[in-house]
């Protein structure tokens, strides 16, 4: 397992070098979206309409941040459970996104899409939302403000800590970790 520092947007060259279990510090622009926003974004893709941001090389963080304290760009920003985006993530990867950040396991279709489209599923530490929020230096709602905390935001991150869960090679950190301790008959 290796440590990397990457700046967005990501390329296939960036994602192909990553392995499940690697730790990454992300810098640059990422976008926030949860299930309601993903549904709308995929509908736009299916209609051939323009999205509120360029998917090419993007990372999407599954988060519904809390309101910021005065002077802060964002409040607590911990990851949400990712399986709610499983039906949408393959489409997002197919159309240029290179990464997703959340918590929890993903279904086989998402893992396959990571392999097919050079995507990465990063895990962020649940329960550490206040600390993760401190790595966000700016935040701006760019679409669907009526969704409140689930609106699409453009955020800038500095040394945002994540771990590679699903890589471009079909590896799954959760399965790898479990296999280490499985008792064989």
- Select from 152, 85, 149 the least CA-distant residue to 119: 85
Of 14, 15, 31, 38, which is the active-site residue? Answer: 38
**CA distances for 59 relative to 30, 32, 85, angstroms:** 5, 8, 14
Tokens of 53: 């941001």
- Contact of 172 with 82, CB cutoff 8 Å: no
Tokens of 97: 């996104």
CA nearest neighbour of 10 among 162, 128, 174: 162
For this structure, is 95 an active site residue?
no
The residues that are catalytic are 38
């Amino acid at each position: 397992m290796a440590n990397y520092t990457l700046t967005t947007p990501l390329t296939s060259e960036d994602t192909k070098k990553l392995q499940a279990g690697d730790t990454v510090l992300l810098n640059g622009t990422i976008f926030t979206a949860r299930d309601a926003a993903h549904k709308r974004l995929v509908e736009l893709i299916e209609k051939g309409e323009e999205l509120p941001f360029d998917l090419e090389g993007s990372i999407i963080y599954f988060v519904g941040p809390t309101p910021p304290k005065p002077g802060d760009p964002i409040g607590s920003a911990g990851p949400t459970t990712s399986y709610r985006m499983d039906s949408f993530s393959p489409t997002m990867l197919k159309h240029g996104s290179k990464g997703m950040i959340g918590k929890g396991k993903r279904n086989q279709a998402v893992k396959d899409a990571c392999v097919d489209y050079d995507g990465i599923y990063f895990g962020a530490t649940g329960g550490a939302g206040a600390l993760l929020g401190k790595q966000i230096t700016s935040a701006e709602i760019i679409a669907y403000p009526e969704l409140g905390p689930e609106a699409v935001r453009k955020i800038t991150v500095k040394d945002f800590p994540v771990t590679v869960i699903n890589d471009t090679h079909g590896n799954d950190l959760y399965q790898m970790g479990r296999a280490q301790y499985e008792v064989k008959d």
